[in-house]
Amino acid sequence: MRRTKSQIIEAANRQVIVEGDLDAIPEFFTPGYIAHVAGKDFSGGQQIVRRMVGTYRRAFSEIEVKIEILVQSPSRIAWLRSWRGKQTGPFRGFPPSQKVVRWSDQVISEIEDGRIAEEWLVTDLAEQLLLARK
């Protein structure tokens, strides 16, 4: 049975991010996956997903993710991801705060043949990490 776009998004976040099952990445992401984040393009296919998720999981413990689907078209889905995690490791120049950090991502995902092929993402993580330092 083929998954809906929302089922793909929810399952990918649960299995890959929350559970840390990096072996599930090929199930959810195409080999040519591209992410557009903060005006930068990250190509590298499934390896870029593996690196990004590894970076988050090394910096944050007790990760929780909630997904809210906003709108869908035949090939794209717009959604919000709310994160919660304790920053126990460094993250892109921010030293570990040992505090619980909450942040949100706004994401548009392009789905091809039942997998995520491309994403456009805006996040407020840096702002929340700055606030956690106070």
From first to last of its 134 residues, what are the pLDDT tens digits of the chain? 689 999 999 999 999 999 999 999 999 999 999 999 988 999 999 999 999 999 999 999 999 999 999 999 999 999 999 999 999 999 989 999 999 999 999 999 999 999 999 999 998 888 888 887 77
pLDDT at 130: 80
pTM of the predicted model as reported, rounded to 2 decimal places: 0.91
CATH of domain 5-132: 3.10.450.50
Q: Give every strand in the sheet of 76-87, ordered side by side.
A: 40-42, 29-37, 115-123, 100-112, 76-87, 60-72
pLDDT at 28: 98
pLDDT at 133: 76
80 to 6, 12, 88: CA distances (angstroms): 11, 14, 24
Domain boundaries, the chain: 5-132
